[in-house]
A = this chain, B = another copy of it.
Amino acid sequence: MTDTTAAGKSYAMNPQHSALLTDLYQLTMLQGYFEQGMDETAVFEFFVRKLPEKRGFLIAAGLEQALQFLERLRFTGEELEWLAASGRFPDKAFIDHLAQLRFTGDVHAMPEGTIFFPNEPIIRVTAPIPQAQLVESRLINLLHFQTLIASKAVRCVLCAPDKLLVDFGLRRSHGAEAGLLAARAGYLAGFAGSATVLAEPLFGIPVFGTMAHSFVQAHDDESASFEHFAHAQPDNVVLLIDTYDTEAGAHKVVQLAPRLHERGIRIKAVRLDSGDLADHARKVRRILDEGGLGDTGIFSSGSLDEYELRKLLRAGAPIDGFGIGTHLDTSADAPYLDCAYKLVEYAGRARRKRSEQKATWPGRKQVYRHYDDKGLIGGDTLTLEDDTQDGQALIQAVMRGGQRLGPAEPLSDARRRVQENLKQLPPHLRALETEPAYPVTVAPALHRLAEQVDRALLHD
């Protein structure tokens, strides 16, 4: 083992697109498949086993990044050299096999922004087994995270549908990609945008910004800091007023307003970031109103999540917008989903795993959604792809032979789908704590196949 650590130029490579961003066992299994000549078609499906506590549904997200990953999949010369030199893969023919490897398979999926439930596949990969196997680690990594965050963000949206919600979480998100993809997943779920600048050029997400305490502190005088900021950003004057004393800060804003007004500058909002936000908001609202700043909004931030939003809004806090950071970008109350990417068919035979508490349904599946006469969703049926049912089929072909079937879906379309899906939610599923669970029925055809697979295993 070398200790290359640190300053090494290697870290400059973009790990997002490295074929080595995978678990070692994928490569050792690929070697096994290669030696045995196993390259028939495998079918894998990604699904969530069960909902985290308090979640009533999930939002499918991450498909776009998953497809980009599949399109770009290849080992670079540098990566192949490293693998050969690692000593783990002495067979040159295997390294050559990896050099040729591209994703040439099919993908079926629920469109991004679709509401889904446990055991329902949101993506199905059909490809020669080495390809379908290799991509497991990164596909899960991409689908899991955005689904996790979109499913958290949508809870804030349901709590505060008429408020401006902005992702503030970059600093405490888990690394660079987490910050960016959390901005994307939050926007998908209905947030107005993000504070993360790079999210705008990368994903077309509106970015928002105010000012930090350090700007105020760097000035010897708080009022001067407000005035300087207003001159620098005359179209976006949002002043942070809690650095020393929130209500005193609000009074300084009122005193400053006429001077700014003379220069045509309007104070769009003030920001509160500490203390009892409902109480401060009420006091600040009164100070602003009495000072003639009735159209200056109140924006607030600081350890917020859907539960805090609900509390503030129930208390009637006069707050117009919220910056939601850490709790969104880490999905703090449920920082992971119990999800899996499992082999359901190989070489034309359905497969299942029977491990305790982790058994999976075999075969290529489809999910049918049923609506009541008000247009609300009333239940799903999980069945085999060829067992056509009534209802709306949620899983669609999106890639064939490694090629997309259409252009990438604009993020705004997926975002609209979330809003349409939310309108179809029955009231109990819109609540932060939901019951009863949404019914997902496993069709008889799927039960029969599972029994058949088990019987075949017993006879092996």
Q: A: which residues have CB within 8 A of B?
A: 1-8, 10-18, 20-29, 31-36, 38, 42, 44, 64-65, 68, 79, 82, 86, 88, 129, 133, 136-138, 140-142, 144-145, 148, 168, 170-182, 195-198, 200-204, 206-215, 217-218, 220-222, 228-229, 231-233, 236, 242-245, 273-275, 326, 330-332, 335-337, 339, 342-343, 346-347, 349, 351-358, 407-412, 457, 460
In the bound complex, how far is the Cα of B65 from the Cα of A140, in angstroms?
Answer: 26
Q: Is B357 a contact partner of A275 (Cβ separation < 8 A)?
A: yes
With contact pairs A29-B212, A170-B141, A213-B342 given, residues A410 and B336 touching in the complex (Cβ less than 8 Å):
no
Please tell me if the beta carbons of A7 and B133 are within 8 angstroms of each other in the complex. no
Known: A32-B211, A141-B171, A217-B352. 16 other contacts (CB 8 A): A4-B204, A5-B412, A6-B408, A10-B201, A23-B168, A28-B236, A32-B215, A86-B200, A129-B218, A173-B174, A214-B342, A217-B346, A217-B351, A242-B355, A243-B353, A244-B355
Task: State whether A274 and B358 are in contact (beta carbons under 8 Å apart), knowing that A31-B233, A144-B172, A233-B31 are contacts in the complex.
Answer: yes
Pair A6/B410 contact, Cβ less than 8 Å:
yes
Closest Cβ of chain B to A44, distance in Å, is 7
In the complex, which residue of chain B has the Cβ closest to the Cβ of A72? B12
Contacts A14-B14, A218-B346, A354-B244 hold; do A228 and B36 have CB atoms under 8 A apart?
A: yes
Instruction: Determine which of B138, B232, B274, B408 lies in contact with A357 in the assembled complex, contact meaning CB atoms within 8 Å.
Output: B274
User: Is B201 a contact partner of A343 (Cβ separation < 8 A)?
Assistant: no
- The smallest beta-carbon distance between A37 and chain B, in angstroms, is 10
Q: For A175, what are the chain B residues with a Cβ–Cβ distance below 8 Å?
A: 141-142, 145, 174-178, 180-181
Complex contacts, A3 vs chain B, CB 8 Å:
204, 410-412
Complex Cα gap A204–B91 (Å) = 23
Can you list 27 A-B contacts with CB-CB less than 8 angstroms, sorted by A residue number? A2-B204, A5-B64, A6-B411, A10-B202, A11-B202, A13-B14, A15-B16, A15-B202, A21-B176, A23-B168, A23-B195, A23-B209, A24-B207, A32-B211, A36-B228, A44-B214, A88-B233, A140-B171, A145-B175, A213-B343, A218-B351, A220-B349, A220-B460, A221-B460, A274-B356, A275-B356, A330-B335
Rounded to whole angstroms, the CA-CA distance of A332 and B133 in the bound complex is 27
- Residues of B contacting A358 in the complex (Cβ-Cβ under 8 angstroms): 273-274
Give Cα distance in the complex from A408 to B8, angstroms.
9
A274 partner residues in chain B, CB cutoff 8 A: 355-358
Contacting residue for A38 out of B141, B210, B218, B351, CB 8 A: B218
Closest to A236 in B: B28
Known: A171-B141, A353-B217. A330 touches B326 (CB 8 A): no
The one of B82, B457, B460 in contact with A201, judged by C-beta atoms closer than 8 angstroms, is B82
B residues within 8 A CB of A197? Answer: 20-24, 27
User: Which residues of chain B are near A212, meaning CB under 8 Å?
Assistant: 25-26, 29, 133, 136
A392 CB to closest chain B CB (Å) equals: 25
Across the interface, do B200 and A133 meet the contact criterion of CB distance under 8 Å? no
- Across the interface, name the chain B residue whose C-beta is closest to A330: B335
Q: Give the distance to chain B from A402, nearest Cβ to Cβ, in Å.
A: 14
- Shortest C-beta distance, A389 to chain B (Å), equals 27
Question: Do residues B213 and A353 form an inter-chain contact, with CB atoms below 8 A?
Answer: yes
A71 to chain B, nearest CB (A): 8
CB-CB nearest in chain B for A71: B7
Q: A144-B171, A175-B181 are in contact. Are A24 and B214 (CB under 8 A)?
A: no
